Amino acid sequence: MRPLTFGVSIPTSVGAGSEPVAQAQAAEELGFDFVSSSDHPCGSQPSYETWTLLAWIAARTSRIRVATRVLGVPYRHPAMVAKMAETLDRLAGGRLILGLGGGYSDKEFAAFGLGVPSPAEKVTGLKEAVHVIRGLWSDSNFSFHGQRYHTEGAELEPKPSHHIPIWLGTFGSRALQVTGQVADGWIPSLGYAPTEALPAMRDRVLTAAAAAGRDPGEITCALNLQARIDDRPDPLPDGISGPAEQVASELNAFVAAGFSAFNFMLVGPDWAEQIQQIATNVIPALRALR
């Protein structure tokens, strides 16, 4: 049985009251394993760029891991992501989780003049991105000729001093297969992936891993979900809500379905109160159920 790990989403908002570093420091003090932020550089709402934000957070914390949840591959060439990731992981003392996704917002890609990949091209690009990144991390004079990306005798130094995990946020049938073939972890979001569909989706990931000659047990299955701890009667449509004991019970059902990591997007006006509830009431109650 894999040990449970817990993360919390740090909002990228630049709005009034935004304190991303203080929030990450609070998560570290409360014992969370990682913090994460999403990747939406285009939009009318003031926001931080994810990579820069996480680098700033890593510099102001000491233990907690930082995760991109998830970088839209079409925004950045994978070869540059390989360099960026090695640098951030090295400076942070080995604390990076590199989350990648095909990128779902066609409107954002078009607005930035990046072109709009088809769904098939997004999945192809995602798989090729992992090959490029891993190739540059391990090989000298790395050449790769794919449909979406290529390198020619590329050199990247220094190489990572340890294995940097790559988690993929995927949902479609082919993308799930790619996750099993090449990724260290799978991190779908509840809502995009309905609760009742998660077991079959996870099975597809693990089946693809086995078919590729990999150990399915080495793949971290993480779930990104909204959470609200209170006594309100209205449930969250794409998350979990209710008293701490109820939320712990619902999380335990996901554990029984094979998930060992949870990333909480806290809902409600009092973020500090919500993270305190998760850390002091929900997580201990969940561990007690095991």
Q: What is the pLDDT of residues 184-230, one digit of tens each?
A: 999 999 989 999 999 999 999 999 999 999 999 999 999 999 999 99
CATH superfamily of 5-289: Luciferase-like domain (3.20.20.30)
pLDDT at 218 (0 to 100): 96
Is the pTM of the predicted complex or chain greater than 0.95?
yes
Low-confidence ranges of the chain (pLDDT < 50): none
pLDDT at 269 (0 to 100): 80
pLDDT at 145 (0 to 100): 98
pLDDT at 55 (0 to 100): 98
* For the chain, domain boundaries: 5-289
pLDDT at 1 (0 to 100): 76
pLDDT at 11 (0 to 100): 95
Q: What is the pLDDT of residues 243-276, one digit of tens each?
A: 999 999 999 999 999 999 999 999 988 999 999 9
The 10 Å Cβ neighbour count of residue 214 is 17
